[in-house]
Amino acid sequence: MMPDRQADAAAAVFDPLRPRLVRVAYRMLGSVADAEDAVQEAFIRWLGTDRAAVREPEAFLRRVVTRLCLDQLKSARHRREAYVGPWLPDPFVEAEEDEAEDVTLPLMLALERLSPLERAAFLLHDVFGLGFEDVAATIGRDSAACRQLAARARAHVREARPRYAVERERGLEIAQAFFTASRSGDLSALGAMLRADASLHSDGGGKRAAAMGVVQGARRIMQLHKALAVLFRKHGSQLVRTCFINGLPGFVTLESDGEYQTTALEIADGQVAAIYVMRNPDKLRHLH
């Protein structure tokens, strides 16, 4: 086969798998750009592979992507230790036709506390449904070790697994109401939506103004929003859409500085238990 035809043949197999491979990499890394880079590197390696000898391209490529992500996670841990303010994963804004996301934002934050191998074993087995023999082949450990890795991971993230199922329409209604109350300065309506122990996490990455720590408790969140209401009255905040973000109802806004912002809401018993605000422009580029 001529080189161009070889590349076309490789792409014909790879391209339909690309979205699923990006999902694997994103859940491993929490970064859309890093996930896309890992998948593109996997494609380059796929081009140089004896593809006729590969019986299951998807399993082979998932293995390549996972190993690339394991290498990246070692350096990512050091980068996050020096991160300015709270770190949140890049927002993954779901389309209406997408299936409900099973790896929610709180779970992704819990995954950050795991070792790279624990994270890989948990995602491959518990999320993607691979048997432990396949997990072992992917991460280079035996099946027994993979079982232990997944069990340890499961124990660490148990509290972050989704416990409160929110119907899509109800979730979007709450998101719309939260946007309206927070931008109009209706503090009474906003306060009624919050659990007493609610928390607010905002990631500005040192690039845009954001709280330098997690804001704990409805009272402190209300104090913050009282100050923000003054800014919103002066400068405005345009709703782009309500949607699900990393498995949570929320909304995308265009702020007065011309940058996007995402807000995701964790709902428990009809009230907002946690607010996750992404303001770091580096993590919002893919929304453009």
Domains and CATH numbers, the chain: 1-82 (no CATH), 105-161 (1.10.10), 168-287 (3.10.450.50)
Average pLDDT over residues 113-129: 93
Of 48-52, 79-83, 121-125, 161-165, the range with the lowest mean pLDDT is 161-165
CA distances from 208 to 171, 186, 220, 223, 228 (A): 28, 25, 21, 20, 14
Of 142-151, 228-237, 249-258, the range with the lowest mean pLDDT is 228-237
Average pLDDT over residues 253-257: 92
Q: Whose CA is closest to 22, among 34, 10, 4? A: 34
Mean pLDDT of the chain: 90
Pick the more confident residue, 211 or 4: 211
